[in-house]
Amino acid sequence: MKTISPPRSPVRLHKELDAVWSTPGGWGALSAVNHTVLGRRFIVAAFVFFAIGGVLAMLIRAQLASPHSAFLGPDHYNQIFTMHGTVMMFLFAIPMFEGLAIYLLPKLLGARDLAFPRLGAYGFWCYVFGGSILLVALAVGVAPDSGWFMYTPLSSRAYTPGINADVWLIGITFVEISAISAAVEIVVTILKMRAPGMSLDKMPLLAWYLLVTGMMMLVGFPPLILGSILLEVERAFDWPFFDPARGGDPLLWQHLFWLFGHPEVYIIFLPAAGVISTILPVLARHPIIGYSWIVVSIIALGFLSFGLWVHHMFTVGIPHLAQAFFSAASMLVAIPTGVQVFSWLATLTSGRPQLKVPMFYLLGFFFVFVAGGLTGVMLAVVPFDWQAHDTHFVVAHLHYVLVGGFVFPMMAAAHYWLPHFTGRMPVYRLSVTAFWLIFVGFNATFLLMHLTGLRGMPRRVHTYAPDLGWDWLNLLSSIGGFVMTMGFALFVIDIALQLRFGRPAPRNPWQADTLEWAMPTPSPNYNFAALPDVASRSPVADDPDLAARLASGEGYLGFVRNGWRETLGIHMVTGKPDQIILLPGPTFLPLWSALATGVFFVSLLMKAYVLALIGAGLSVVLLVSWTRGAGLRKDHGPLPVGRGEAVPPHQEASGPPSWWATVFTLVANGTLFSSLLFGSLYLWLVAPGWPPARLLDIGPGLPLAGGFGLVLAALAGRRSLVEKAAAGITRASLWLIATAGGHILALACLVRLVQMVPDPTGHAYAATTAAILVYAGLHAALGILFAGYGWYRSLSGYVSVRRNLDLRIGRLWHDYTAVAGMVALIMVYGLPKVIGS
C-alpha cells in the first residue's frame, strides 16, 4: 500500500484530488457519475421538460381563450392536457428537486459525493429515456390522452385501443426507476454521509426535509408502480383487475393512483419548503426560529399526507364516514404547514430582511401558497367539494399550491444558488422584472379561474358555449398565462446574460452559514479538499476561515490514498465517523444498463415480449456486473482519516451504505407488495361480481412445501454468515448452496401453484392470485441469484470474516423473501377458504 504523502500546498492537494475525482471530457462525459455533473444535468433536463410543459399549457390557454374555438379538436386537446399534467408532475417537478438534491446534498452535508454515484447516473439515463418515450409519442400524435390520472376504464383497452395509454404506463414506470433510486440515494446519504460531528440536531433543515421526502418517495411511489403494472397487464394480457364485469373495480385504480398522487404533492412541496427554510434565514440575517418545531412538523406532514388520498375521490360514492376520516386528516395537515409559515414569519420579523432577488420569490410564495392552502382547506370540506370537484376551481387551487409551493421557491433557489453553480451574481434589474411578470401573470390566470369554476365550468372540456358567463374570465386567464410565459422567457434570458456577463461572485456572497459555501465556486469536483468537523448548526458563521482551512487540507481525509475516491461515513445520530466510504469512478456501465432497461420497456410497448425478456436479462447481467472489481480482496482494518482518528473501509464496517440501501429498497418493495395485497382484499370486499365461479382448490401440501423452501433458504443464508466466522470458506459455500436449494424448491412449488390457478383472464380473483404468486416466485428466483452471487464472491476472495457485506446483503433478501413468500402462500391458500365459507 502506498503511504500517505502529506501534500505541500493547497494547489498541490487540489491537483492530486482533481486527478482522482475528475470526469473525462468528450464522449467520456457520458460516463460521468459525479454528483455535481449529474445534478446539473438533472436540473437542465427538468427545465427543458418544464418549457415543453409550458408550451402545452399555452396551447390549452389558446384553445380556451374563446368559446367554440376551432383551434384544437378534442383528440389533440386531450393529448395536450394529459401531457401537460404528466410532464409537469413526473418530468419536471420530481426530477427538478432531485437534481437540486443531487447537486446540493453532499456539499451541504460536508461529503465529497453521494452514496451511490453510478446509481445516480443510471437514474438519470432512465429519466431521460423514459421521458423521451413520452415526447416521441407526443411528436407522432399518439401521446396518452386519458388524463394524467389515467382513470380506468377510459384508459383500458376497450376505450383506448391505441398505444396511447401504454406509452404513459410504460414511459412513466421507466421514469419511476430514477425516482426510487434517487430516493434511496438521498436517504442513505443523509443518514450516513454527513460531516463528522454533524449529529442529527445540527443537520441543516434542508437535509431534514429531503430525508422525509426520500422516505415518502419510497412508500409513495410503489402503489403507482404497482397500479401501472396491473393496468398494463390488463391491457396487454386481459387480466381483469379493473373490469367490473369480471370481478375487478375501476375504483381500485383510483385508490392506487391517489395513494401515490396525494403524497406526491407533499413530495414536491417539502423540498421547496426546505429551500425556504434555508434561504429565508440567510436573507433575514437571523437563524431560523423553531428548528425542532419544524423538524417535528416535517415528520408529521410526511405521515399525514398519506391520509388524504380519498379527498380526490369524494364524489365516487364512498360512505360518508370514510370521507369524514379523510376530510379530518386533510384539515389536519394545515397545522404543521401553519407552524412552518409562522416560524418563517417569526424569523423574518426577528431579523433584518433584505429585499434581494430571491426574497421577491419568497414573498410571492407567501401570497400564492397561503391562498392555495386556504382553498385546499375549503376543498377538504366534503359538501363544498361535492360542488367544486372537477371544476376549474380545483384547477386554480392546484396551480396555487404547486406553482406557489414549488415553482416560486425553486425560482428563489435558482437565483440564490446561481453563484454557486456559475460563480457569478444575479443581475437585479432584469430578474425583478421577470418576477413581476410571472407573479402578475400567474395571479391573472388563476385567481379568476376560481370564479370560472364556481360558475360551473368543468375541467378538461375542450370547448364551451358562449352564453354561460365564462367568456371574459377565460379570455383574461389566457392573457395572464401569456404574460406569465413572457416572465419565464425573460428569466431564461436573464440566466443566459448572467452566465455571460454576471459579476464574479465573491466567496459566500449571501453570508450564509451552511457548508456548501465553504468551497470555491463553481465547486471543485471533489467538493472539499478536507472534510470539516462540525460543532454547531452554523459551521460557516462560526469560522469565517473554514473554507481556506479546508482547502489547505486541514480536517478529515485531506489527502489522496491509493488513488481511492474516499469520503467519510458516520454514525446516524451522533455523527461520529465509523467508516471510510470508497466510491467508484466514471464508467459507462450505468448508460449501458439504462439502454438495456430501455430495450426492455420499448419492447413491452411494441408487444415484442421475447425481446423484452432479452432486455430484462441483459439489464440484470449488466447491473450485476457493476460489482466486478468492486470491493477489497484483503482486510485493511482501521485506516487513519486525519485528526488522529482511524476507521475501517466500508466493506469492513457494520452499517455500510449499500446495506442500508438494501433495507430501504426492501421498504419500497414491501410497500409494493402490501399494495398488491390491499388490492386483492379490496376487490373481494368492494368490487361487484364476487364470489368468483372458480376458486383455487388446493390442499395444504404445496404451500407447506413452498414455505419450507423459503424458511430453509433464509436460515441457511444466516448460517452461511456464522460459518464464515467459524470454519472458513467451504462450509459457508455449502450453506449458500443450501440457500439456493431452498429457493429452488420454493420456486418449483410457486410455479406449480400458478399453473393450478383458474384462468386469470376469467376473473379478478384469479388474476390477483396469480399476480401474488408471480411476485413471490420472482423473489425466490432472485434469491437463487443472490445465493449464487455470494458463493461466487466468496470463491473470488472478496469475502472474509470482516468483509462479509455481500453475504449480509444476501441475508436481507432471503429474510424478506421468506416473510413476503409466506404471507403470499397464506393469502393464496386461505382466501378461497374464507370466500367459500
Partner 1 sequence: MTGRTSPFMLLAIVAGFIIWSSAFTLLYAALSFGCSLGWQSVDVGPVSLNRLALILVWAGHLAALGLLLQWCLKTRRDNVSRGQPARFMTTAALASTSCALFATLWTGLPITVVSTCM
Partner 2 sequence: MFIGAVFILLLVMALLLRAFLISGRGPASARNWLLGGGVLFPVVSLTALLAYALATGERLLAHPVTPEPVRIGVLGRQWQWEVSHSLGNGTTVRTIGTLHIPAGTPVDIRVESADVIHGFWIPRLGGKIDAVPGHVNVIRLTADTPGTYRGVCAEFCGNGHAGMAMTVVAHPPADYAAVLTRLAADTRATPSREIAP
Query: Which cell is 349 given?
Result: 420579523
List Cα–Cα distances, 53 to 197, 415, 485, 491, 624, in angstroms: 43, 22, 11, 16, 36
Measured over the CA atoms of residue 478, residue 482, residue 487 and residue 489, the dihedral's sign is positive
DSSP secondary structure string, 495-536? HHHHHHHPPBPPSSTT---SGGGSS-SSPPTTS-SSB----S
- Of the pair 275, 623, the CB lying nearest partner 2 is at 275
Under the criterion CB under 8 A, does residue 386 sit at the interface with partner 2? yes
Q: Which three cell numbers stand for residue 461?
A: 372540456
Task: Specify the residue for cell string 420497456.
Answer: 601
CA-wise closest residue to 633 among 802, 786, 788, 791: 802
Stretch that binds partner 2, among 312-320, 486-494, 753-761, 827-835 (CB under 8 A): 312-320
How far is Cα 723 from Cα 269, in angstroms, rounded to an integer? 49
Q: How many CB atoms lie within 10 A of CB 349?
A: 11
139's grid cell: 411528436
Shorter beta-carbon distance to partner 2: residue 144 or 569: 144
Contact between 75 and partner 2 by CB under 8 A: the answer reads yes
Site for partner 1 in 336-355 (CB under 8 A): 336
Of these, 346, 451, 572, 595, which contacts partner 1 (CB under 8 A)? 572
Which grid coordinates belong to 429? 434589474
User: For partner 2, which residue of 136, 374, 621, 704 counts as binding (CB under 8 A)?
Assistant: 374
Q: From the list partner 1, partner 2, none, which binds 436 (C-beta under 5 to 8 Å, kind-based)?
A: none
Q: Which of partner 2, partner 1, none interacts with 325 (beta carbon under 5 to 8 A by kind)?
A: partner 1
Site residues for partner 1, window 675-714 (CB under 8 A)? 681-682, 685-686
632 alpha-carbon distance from chain centroid: 31
C-alpha cell of residue 317: 360514492
Of 507 and 643, which has the nearer Cβ to partner 1? 643
Nearer to partner 2, 335 or 722 (CB): 335
Residues 425-464 as x/- pattern, contact with partner 2 by CB under 8 A: ------------------------------xx-xxxxxxx
Between 376 and 584, name the residue whose CB sits nearer to partner 2: 376
Q: Quick one: which of 218, 162, 157 has its CA closest to 186? A: 218
- Amino acid (1-letter code) at residue 804: N
User: Residue 461: which region, alpha, beta or left (left: phi > 0; alpha: psi -120 to 50)?
Assistant: beta
∠ CA 139-144-146, nearest 5°, is: 145
Q: How far is the CB of 212 from partner 2 (least distance, A)?
A: 18
Nearest one of 413, 290, 266, 267 to 342, comparing CA atoms: 290
Stretches 257-265, 587-595, 681-689, 798-806: which one binds partner 2 (CB under 8 A)? 681-689
Question: Taking CB under 8 A as the rule, which mask of x and - marks residues 488-527 in contact with partner 2?
Answer: ----------------------------------------
What are the cell numbers at 300?
Answer: 408529521
Q: Is 296 in the site for partner 2 (CB under 8 A)?
A: no
Cβ-based nearer residue to partner 2, 160 or 800:
160
Q: How far apart are CA 343 and CA 791, in angstroms?
A: 55
Contact between 525 and 36 under an 8 Å Cβ cutoff? The reply is: yes
Q: Which helix H or strand E contains 560, and what residues bound it?
A: none
**Within 157-176, which residues bind partner 2 (CB under 8 A)?**
158-159
The span from the CA of 442 to the CA of 482, in Å, is 9
C-beta of 151 vs 708, nearer to partner 2: 151
Residue 199 touches which member of partner 2, partner 1, none, C-beta under 5-8 Å by kind: partner 1
Name the binder of 363 from partner 2, partner 1, none, CB < 5-8 A by kind: partner 2
Dihedral sign (CA 185, 190, 191, 196): positive
Determine the distance from the C-alpha atom of residue 768 to the mean position of all C-alpha atoms in its chain, rounded to a whole number. 27
Question: For residue 391, what are the CA distances in angstroms to 87, 148, 458, 657?
Answer: 21, 16, 4, 47
Q: Is 316 in the site for partner 2 (CB under 8 A)?
A: yes
Site for partner 1 in 195-234 (CB under 8 A): 199-202
Q: Map the footprint of partner 2 across residues 551-610, applying CB under 8 A.
A: none
- Binder of residue 374, out of partner 2, partner 1, none (CB less than 5 to 8 A by kind): partner 2
Distance separating alpha carbons of residues 692 and 762, to the nearest angstrom = 9
Closer by beta carbon to partner 1, 123 or else 575: 575
Q: Which does 128 bind (CB under 5 to 8 A by kind): partner 1, partner 2, none?
A: none
Taking the complex as a whole, how short is the minimal distance between the CB of residue 694 and partner 2, in angstroms?
20
Q: If we measure between CA atoms, which residue out of 219, 201, 208 comes closest to residue 340?
A: 208
The footprint of partner 1 on residues 642-681 (CB under 8 A) is: 681
Count of beta carbons in the 10 Å neighbourhood of residue 757: 22
Residue owning grid cell 422516505: 215
| Residue from the set 4, 147, 618, 812 that interacts with partner 2 by CB under 8 A | 147
Least distance (Å) from partner 1 to the CB of residue 672? 16
Task: Kindly tell me the sign of the dihedral angle through the C-alpha atoms of 94, 99, 100, 105.
Answer: positive
Is residue 299 within the footprint of partner 2 (CB under 8 A)?
Answer: no
338 binds partner 2 (CB under 8 A): yes
Nearer residue to partner 1 within complex by CB, 303 or 792 = 303
**Cβ atoms of 406 and 274 closer than 8 Å:** no
* Shortest Cβ 514–partner 2 spacing (Å): 21
Site string for partner 2, 686-705 (x = CB under 8 A): -xxx----------------
The stretch among 83-91, 241-249, 713-721, 738-746 that binds partner 2 (CB under 8 A) is: 241-249
- Judged by CB under 8 A, which stretch of 186-194, 377-385, 411-419, 706-714 contacts partner 2? 377-385
The minimum distance between CB 158 and partner 2, in angstroms, equals: 8
Shorter beta-carbon distance to partner 1: residue 536 or 625: 536
Cβ distance to partner 2 smaller for residue 75 or 542: 75
* 686 and 251 Cβ atoms separated by less than 8 Å: yes
| Residue 381 interface partner, choices partner 2, partner 1, none, CB cut-off 5-8 Å depending on type | partner 2
377 touches partner 1 by CB under 8 A? no
The region of 168-176, 310-318, 415-423, 720-728 touching partner 2 under the rule CB under 8 A is 310-318
Applying CB under 8 A, which of residues 316, 499, 573, 727 lies at the interface with partner 1? 573
Q: Which is nearer to partner 1, 234 or 578 (CB)?
A: 578
Residue with smaller CB distance to partner 2, 375 or 603: 375
Identify the DSSP state of 406.
I
Separation between Cα atoms, residue 215 and residue 287, nearest integer Å: 27
Residue 569 Cβ vs partner 2, minimum distance, rounded to whole Å: 35
Show the DSSP H helices in 333-391 as ranges. Answer: 334-350, 357-380, 382-388
Of residues 372, 370, 360, 449, the one with CA closest to residue 413: 360
Residue 614 burial by Cβ neighbours in a 10 Å radius (0-12, 13-18, 19+): middle
Q: Which stretch binds partner 1 (CB under 8 A): 322-330, 346-354, 514-522, 579-587?
A: 322-330
**Number of other CB atoms surrounding residue 73 within 10 Å:** 11
Which residues is 228 bridged to in the sheet?
A: none
Shortest Å, Cβ 303 to partner 1: 4
Q: How far apart are CA 52 and CA 37, in angstroms?
A: 23
- SS3 of residue 584 by DSSP: coil
Q: Which of 292, 730, 755, 837 binds partner 1 (CB under 8 A)?
A: 292
Choose, by CB under 8 A, the member of 190, 329, 473, 683 that binds partner 1.
Answer: 329
Confirm or reject binding of residue 761 to partner 2 (CB under 8 A): no
Give the one residue of 5, 9, 315, 625 binding partner 2; rule: CB under 8 A: 315
For 643, counting Cβ atoms within 10 Å of its Cβ (0-12 exposed, 13-18 middle, 19+ buried), the class is: middle
For partner 1, the binding residues (CB under 8 A) are 199-202, 292, 295-296, 299-300, 302-304, 306-307, 319-322, 324-325, 327-329, 332, 336, 571-576, 681-682, 685-686
